[in-house]
Amino acid sequence: MKYIICKANKAADIGIKPLGHRQRQDKILLNEKELTTSPALTGSLEERASALGGEVYTYESVTQLINKEGGWL
């Protein structure tokens, strides 16, 4: 499964609520299902992530990133 770190306000614009998501400053962590099942987005997973100002990560890379950055609540 892939994970996406994107802008929290853009995620909110398509109906993704902050509750239940890890956040750091203005970023939010989503899993791929939330983007692929969103009717507000089109295209591949990468295109959908890009529309939210985000990037796609694997499980290993996102785990490494949030552990390194810290502050993810």
Partner 1 sequence: MQSSKKRIRKDYAPLIVSAELVCTTPSSPATQVYNPANAQFEPDRALSPTIILPEIRAMANDGSWSNPYVNPLLTDIKWYVNNEEIATADGWAGLYAITTSGENCGALSISRNVFPGQLFSLRFEASLADTRLGVIVPIVTDEILLSTADKSEDEYTLSLADSATIKYDPIRDLLAEYEYKVAQGIIEGSEALRAAAVDINAWEREIPLLVTRGESVITEGYTIKLYRVTGANTFVELTPGAANEVIAVNTSSIKLDLRLVTKNDYLVRLYVPDATEALKLMDAVQFSVARVYRKYTCKPTNGTAIYPTDLQRYDKAMVACEGNVVPYPEVAFRIVWKTDSYNLEGKTHNEGQTTIFTLSDTGIGDTWVDDWLDVYCESEHKAAHNLAVDSSGDNFVDGDGNNYIFQ
| Residues within the interface to partner 1 (CB under 8 A) | 1, 3, 19-22, 29-31, 33-34, 37, 59, 62-63, 66
Work out whether the CA dihedral 42, 44, 47, 53 comes out positive or negative: positive
47 neighbors 35 (Cβ within 8 angstroms): no
Smallest distance, Å, CB 18 to partner 1?
Answer: 11
CB closer to partner 1 out of 8 and 62: 62
CB closer to partner 1 out of 42 and 60: 60
Smallest distance, Å, CB 43 to partner 1?
Answer: 18
Q: With left for phi above 0 and alpha for psi between -120 and 50, is residue 43 left, alpha or beta?
A: left
Place of tokens 């987005």: 41
Smallest distance, Å, CB 47 to partner 1?
Answer: 18
